[in-house]
């Protein structure tokens, strides 16, 4: 087993009366890319702020690379690269000046920093904007400057708060590739509420909701937790009212939920959720024939991370 | 210490890359110039007395104007989060910010050495009071600057930082003028706390350790409070 880079034990952080992070425990090993998933305001950023020594935990403890974030904060920060949410940068500096400043703050020697700035700047695609003021850069470029700054001193651990927000689709692909590469030898924690992102980059996922950790596992494990599947059904019902069709479908055995969805004209489109593992397609086809509807489309989706995420974070169930 | 200097260097560049430094320098030079040349031409006196005499009041709002952005701006813009999560201690940040403010102030004071040169060209310059006066300006400015850094660490709003710093600075200035009307028991206290009283003796060319200690204490106390205020984000 690879060594533990981050250990979080019963971490709690309160602001006044609100519990932003509530008794969260998890570990991250070397070489893992951990995706921190949760709705806005779930406590992702707060947890990251504690790990990066910006805030102190109210209760519990957190260790990064073996050092306590509160007692040995300087040692922790030497080993960390951090990209805060919204990438706060000095707008009056040029990209190059800013990276030089960040290198000096991290105590890098000038020869070393020049080499690293070139290297990291290249990986983040910053060469053509090196002389531009940060205030004049687009959101995407600023994000890259923030990322370059975090990776500058070749830290063991990277903590990235929404690293791809504000990027265009091409840039997102590039940055994800970059994070994956870095994740091979480093430890990366990234937060996001974009589901495809974790699927594309992360080897492990933590889902946090209302400050509590509700799931922890690989993407496959999490998908496996979710029983049942979802169906998309489009029928042309020859004048039968949509409501009537819906009632029929909802009444079928094994259907736990039926909702109307937007669809083509002249037909009714529904999304069905099945409770069990049983395949409902035959049943649905049969129902269409019996009622004299024309089945235009029938599609079965395996449980997606999206369903897992929604079920865990909408508070219908309170699984610990 | 290196980190503090790196921060100071960055701040100084920000000052001179933006209009703030130039606005402050212009306003200060206009006011100081009016005081100096006013006495030169109207009273036909070639000395620096009237220039120095007004500085305790002039500095009480010029220095807060320089200092107000130092920490408040980073709090407001969120860049403080980036800064404090770098491997740097909070006191180094405060020191760096203070040094940057002092560099701007020293530039300001340095420009007015021209007045001393003017006086020297017109007649014999009394060197003691001149050297003492300039040194006093830096010490007094340092005290005001530290108060400004402290006020700037309290808020994310630069205007509020300015008002807090100005209120404290102006109170320290005002003590001298309250002595006359204060009850007997308070007079020594007011006189000791008065920023002007300490400046007067230095600007006469008398460098008394008590005055120097007064200024250094104001600086240390204010900067320590600023550091604690930065650390307060980590209170549980």
Please give the order of strands across the beta sheet that includes A230-236. Answer: A255-261, A268-274, A230-236, A294-301
Encode pLDDT of A117-169 as tens digits. 999 999 888 999 999 999 999 888 898 999 999 999 999 999 999 888 878 88
Above 50 in pLDDT, residue B174? yes
B163, exposed or middle or buried, with CB in 10 Å at 0-12, 13-18, 19+? Answer: middle
**Residues of chain A positioned with their CB less than 8 A from the CB of B81:** 49, 54, 84, 88
Residue B174, chain A, CB below 8 Å: the answer is: no
**C-alpha closest to that of B105 among B219, B210, B221:** B219
Whether A105 sits inside 8 A of B89 (CB atoms) is: no
What local confidence, expressed as pLDDT, does residue B236 receive?
65
- Percent of chain A residues past pLDDT 70, beyond the cut: 95
B21-78 pLDDT, tens per residue?
899 999 999 988 888 887 778 777 777 887 888 889 999 999 999 999 999 999 999 9
Predicted confidence at residue A150, as pLDDT, reads 94
Tell me what pLDDT residue A320 has.
36
Q: Which ranges of B43-193 would DSSP assign to H, the alpha helix?
A: 49-53, 55-67, 69-77, 79-84, 90-111, 113-122, 127-154, 158-178, 187-193
Mutate to test the interface with B, among A104, A135, A149 (most CBs of B within 10 A): A104
A161 and A83 in contact (C-beta within 8 Å)? Answer: yes
Q: Is the pLDDT of residue B120 over 70?
A: yes
Angstrom distance (rounded) from CA A58 to CA A200: 34
Are the Cβ atoms of A105 and B84 closer than 8 angstroms? no
For an interface test with B, the pick among A93, A99, A105, A154 (most B C-beta atoms closer than 10 Å) comes out as: A105
pLDDT at position A228: 67
Identify the DSSP state of A182: H
Phi/psi at A301 (5° precision)? -110, 140
Q: For chain B, which residues make up each domain, given as ranges?
A: 2-234
Which pLDDT score is estimated for A6?
93
Q: Does A4 touch chain B (CB under 8 A)?
A: no
For helices B195-203 and B127-154, give the axis angle rounded to 10 degrees. Answer: 150
> Do B86 and A77 count as a contact with CB atoms less than 8 A apart?
yes
Q: Over range B148-165, report the average pLDDT.
A: 96
The CATH 3.40.50.300 domain(s) of chain A lie at 4-220
Q: How confident is the model at residue B118 (pLDDT cuts 50, 70, 90)?
A: confident
The topology (CATH level 3) of A227-302 is Alpha-Beta Plaits (3.30.70)
pLDDT tens readout for residues B192-229: 888 888 888 888 888 889 999 999 999 999 999 999 99
Q: How confident is the model at residue A317 (pLDDT cuts 50, 70, 90)?
A: very low
pLDDT at B152: 97
Q: Does A15 touch chain B (CB under 8 A)?
A: no
pLDDT at residue A293 greater than cutoff 90: no
Tell me the chain A residues in contact with residue B83 when contact means C-beta distances shorter than 8 Å. Answer: 105
Q: Which two tokens stand for residue B189?
A: 């206290």
Averaged confidence pLDDT in chain A: 86
- How sure is the predictor about A318, in pLDDT bands with cuts at 50, 70 and 90? very low
Burial class (CB in 10 A: 0-12, 13-18, 19+), A3: exposed
Per-residue pLDDT, averaged over B149-175, amounts to 95
Distance in Å, alpha carbon of A112 to nearest chain B alpha carbon = 17
Top-ranked range on mean pLDDT: pick from A33-47, B121-135, B140-154, B195-209 = B140-154
**Residue with more model confidence, B201 or A100:** A100
Res B4: pLDDT: 94
Q: Mean per-residue pLDDT for A96-103?
A: 95
Q: Which residues pair with A254 in a beta bridge?
A: none
Cα–chain-centroid distance for residue A142?
20
Q: What is the pLDDT of residues A170-204, one digit of tens each?
A: 888 888 888 888 888 889 999 987 777 888 888 89
User: Mean of the pLDDT values across residues A215-243?
Assistant: 79
Residue A250 has pLDDT above 70, yes or no: yes
Distance CA A315, CA A209 (A): 8
Q: Which CATH class is domain A4-220?
A: alpha beta
CB contact under 8 Å between B82 and A82, yes or no, is: yes
């Amino acid at each position: 087993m690879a060594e533990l880079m981050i250990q979080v034990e019963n971490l709690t952080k309160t602001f006044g009366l609100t519990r932003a992070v509530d008794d969260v425990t998890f570990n991250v090993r070397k070489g893992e890319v951990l995706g921190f998933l949760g709705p806005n305001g779930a406590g992702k950023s707060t947890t990251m702020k504690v790990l990066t020594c910006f805030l102190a935990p109210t209760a519990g403890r957190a260790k990064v690379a073996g050092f306590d974030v509160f007692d040995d904060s300087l040692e922790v920060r030497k080993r960390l690269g951090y990209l805060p949410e919204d990438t706060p940068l000095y707008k009056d500096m040029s990209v190059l000046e800013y990276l030089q400043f960040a290198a000096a703050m991290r105590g890098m020697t000038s020869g070393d920093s020049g080499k690293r700035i070139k290297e990291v700047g290249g990986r983040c695609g910053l060469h053509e904007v090196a002389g531009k003021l940060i205030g004049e850069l687009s959101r995407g470029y600023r994000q890259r400057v923030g990322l370059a700054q975090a990776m500058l001193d070749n830290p063991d651990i990277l903590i990235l708060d929404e690293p791809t927000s504000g990027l265009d689709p091409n840039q997102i692909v590039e940055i994800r590739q970059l994070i994956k590469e870095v994740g091979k030898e480093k430890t990366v924690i990234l937060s996001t509420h974009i589901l495809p992102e974790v699927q594309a980059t992360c080897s492990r996922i933590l889902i946090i909701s209302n400050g509590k950790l509700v799931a922890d596992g690989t993407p496959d494990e999490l998908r496996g937790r979710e029983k049942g599947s979802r169906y998309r059904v489009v029928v042309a019902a020859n004048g039968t009212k949509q409501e009537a069709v819906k009632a029929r479908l909802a009444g079928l055995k094994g259907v736990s939920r039926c909702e109307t969805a937007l669809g083509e004209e002249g037909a009714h489109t529904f999304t069905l959720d099945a409770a069990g593992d049983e395949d409902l397609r035959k049943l649905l086809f049969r129902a269409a024939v019996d009622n004299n509807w024309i089945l235009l489309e029938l599609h079965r989706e395996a449980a997606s991370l999206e369903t897992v995420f929604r079920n865990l974070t909408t508070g219908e169930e309170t699984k610990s | 210490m290196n980190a503090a200097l790196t921060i100071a260097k960055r701040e100084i560049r920000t000052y001179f890359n933006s209009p703030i430094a130039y606005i402050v320098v212009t306003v200060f030079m206009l006011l100081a110039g009016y005081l100096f040349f006013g006495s030169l031409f109207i009273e036909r006196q070639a000395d620096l007395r009237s220039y120095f005499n007004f500085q305790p009041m002039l500095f009480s709002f010029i220095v807060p104007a320089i200092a107000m952005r130092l920490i408040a701006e980073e709090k407001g813009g969120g860049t403080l989060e980036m800064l404090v999560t770098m491997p740097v201690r909070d006191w180094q940040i405060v020191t760096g910010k203070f040094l940057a403010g002092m560099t701007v102030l020293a530039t300001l004071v340095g420009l007015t050495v021209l007045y001393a040169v003017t006086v020297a060209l017109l007649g014999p310059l009394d060197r003691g009071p001149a050297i003492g006066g300039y040194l006093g300006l830096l010490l007094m400015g340092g005290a005001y600057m530290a108060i400004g850094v402290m006020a700037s660490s309290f808020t994310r709003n630069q205007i509020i930082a300015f008002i807090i710093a100005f209120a404290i600075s102006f109170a320290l200035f005002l003590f001298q003028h309250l002595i006359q009307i204060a009850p007997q028991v308070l007079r020594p206290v007011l006189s000791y706390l008065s920023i002007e009283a300490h400046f007067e003796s230095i600007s006469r060319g008398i460098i008394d350790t008590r005055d120097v200690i007064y200024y250094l204490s104001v600086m240390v106390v204010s900067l320590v409070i600023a550091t604690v205020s930065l650390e307060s984000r980590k209170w549980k």
